[in-house]
Amino acid sequence: MPIRTFENMSEKLAESIEDDNSVTMLDVLQVENQLEEDAYAVLGASDDQNCTYNKGYIRQALYACKTCGSNKIRAAVCLACSFHCHEGHELVELYTKRQFRCDCGNSKFDGKKCNLEKMKSAVNSENKYNQNFDGVYCVCARPYPDPDSEGDEDDMLQCTICEDWYHSKHLECDDGVPADNAYHEMICAGCMREHNFLWNYASKYAVSKKSDTPEKNEEVEVSKLPEGCQMPNLLSVNTKGSCFWIEGWRNALCTCEKCKSVYNAKNIMFLLDPKDSVQAYEEAGKLNKQESQYEKGMKALASMGHVQKLTAIEEYNNMKERLMQYLQKFADNKKVVREEDIKEFFSGMESKKRPKVTVPTYCR
């Protein structure tokens, strides 16, 4: 899954309305539906009005503020705080991170208080930060999008364990990366080296880069496992590079006391939590959505007569040009497009659509 940024989402919306006469109303509704799906997936059950601090350490959409982070201290900002405490700031969208609590207003912000939640501890000791909070990713430690990149930007994949993002060309996969629909999660080469016992499971639950099917490599015996342990006692010979896992692979992880002590020691007990995965988080977010704008739009189109549809198309073409101009200022200033901004735009459109009518009065 490629990494997503505020700038990319704004550009995608602008591009979707830029192809003048080649874009139909149905196209617009479909694009908007995809944007809605992406937003629900990324934001999950996030609340844009209330800070998540009191929910404790949870998986959530997070942001790093470069404007407030001039002292190079890494800090996590929740969705609501990105709107209400860091409006107009340069934000780095981090997608989601597990077990994070909002830092906004704590000791990392040099006295700047959170506008939404005043009672916060000085630090969130359980937060685990990585280089993404500095705005760089992968083993190459480059920003995304990379201003020095030539040609198309390489897609980036998120590691299940370290949660950093990696260019596909830096995953140490000589055979290439499987198709998107062939695997469920990816663990980077660095994490596979650190947690090399996971290769035991790869012999049964990993996806081959070439065939996009579970690995069928030659296998060798390893030392006898403790009685009652369910970890496979066969190790795949191919134990290099990143590993791509089929759906349900976590269910195969052994939960004997010996293995759980290993997970604890390596701080990866979260692999046993069925709600931990990004996929579970995204599905929960999609379940929270109400009737989409796409569904509402299709119902509205179906109820229109021929003349109404022609009028609507004319109105749409007018709106398309104005919206493109309106969004450009956000892209130029690297600002987040908020719900209030969209309401302001359509409020302005409404006033332009309805010219003031003066009813003449006559003396008798």
Count CB neighbours of 261 within 10 A: 10
pLDDT at residue 117 greater than cutoff 90: yes
In this prediction, residue 305 carries a pLDDT of 63
How many Å apart are CA 103 and CA 91, to the nearest integer?
14
In this prediction, residue 17 carries a pLDDT of 46
CA nearest 43: which of 306, 316, 281, 355?
281
Q: Kindly indicate the confidence band of residue 261, based on its pLDDT and cuts at 50, 70 and 90.
A: very high
Count CB neighbours of 122 within 10 A: 8
Residue predicted with more confidence, 184 or 45 = 184
How many Å apart are CA 293 and CA 335, to the nearest integer?
24
Question: Helix, strand or coil for residue 330?
Answer: helix
Q: Largest alpha-carbon pair distance within the chain? A: 109
Give the mean pLDDT of 275-283: 86
Q: Which of the residue ranges 5-9, 26-30, 210-214, 349-353 would you say has the lowest mean pLDDT?
A: 5-9
How many Å apart are CA 130 and CA 162, to the nearest integer?
8
How many Å apart are CA 262 and CA 268, to the nearest integer?
9
Q: Domain for residue 238, yes or no? A: yes
In this prediction, residue 158 carries a pLDDT of 94
Could you give the count of Cα atoms lying within 13 Å of 7 in the half-sphere of its Cβ? 11
CA nearest 52: which of 105, 5, 6, 3?
105
pLDDT at residue 245 greater than cutoff 80: yes
In this prediction, residue 125 carries a pLDDT of 96
Q: How many structural domains compose the chain?
A: 1
Give the mean pLDDT of 153-169: 90
Contact 106, 113 (CB under 8 A): no
Q: Domain for residue 241, yes or no? A: yes
Contacts (Cβ under 8 Å, ≥6 apart) of 74: 64, 108, 129, 133, 134
Report H helices in the chain.
Answer: 6-16, 25-43, 79-84, 189-194, 199-205, 257-265, 278-287, 293-302, 306-333, 339-353
Residue predicted with more confidence, 42 or 97 = 97
**pLDDT averaged over every residue in the chain:** 77
Q: Domain for residue 199, yes or no? A: yes
pLDDT at residue 195 greater than cutoff 60: yes
Type of residue found at 79: L
How many Å apart are CA 149 and CA 129, to the nearest integer?
26
In this prediction, residue 122 carries a pLDDT of 94
Crossing angle between the packed helical segments 25-43 and 293-302, to the nearest 10 degrees = 160
C-alpha torsion sign, points 166, 169, 174, 175 = positive
Q: Domain for residue 179, yes or no? A: yes
How many Å apart are CA 160 and CA 247, to the nearest integer?
13
Here the tokens at position 200 are 């035991």
Q: Which of the residue ranges 259-268, 282-291, 346-355 would you say has the lowest mean pLDDT?
A: 346-355
| 359 beta partners | none
In this prediction, residue 150 carries a pLDDT of 74
Q: Which domain holds residue 170?
A: 161-275
Q: Domain for residue 73, yes or no? A: no
CA 174, chain centre distance (Å):
27
In this prediction, residue 46 carries a pLDDT of 75
How many Å apart are CA 51 and CA 152, to the nearest integer?
37
Q: Which residue has the tokens 């994949």?
A: 157
Give the mean pLDDT of 324-349: 73
| 65 beta partners | 91
pLDDT at residue 210 greater than cutoff 70: no
Q: Domain for residue 208, yes or no? A: yes
Q: Domain for residue 229, yes or no? A: yes
Q: Domain for residue 169, yes or no? A: yes
Q: Kindly indicate the confidence band of residue 176, based on its pLDDT and cuts at 50, 70 and 90.
A: confident
pLDDT at residue 321 greater than cutoff 70: yes
How many Å apart are CA 317 and CA 333, to the nearest integer?
25
H helix or E strand, kind and range, residue 94: strand 91-100
CA 332, chain centre distance (Å):
22
How many Å apart are CA 315 and CA 195, to the nearest integer?
58
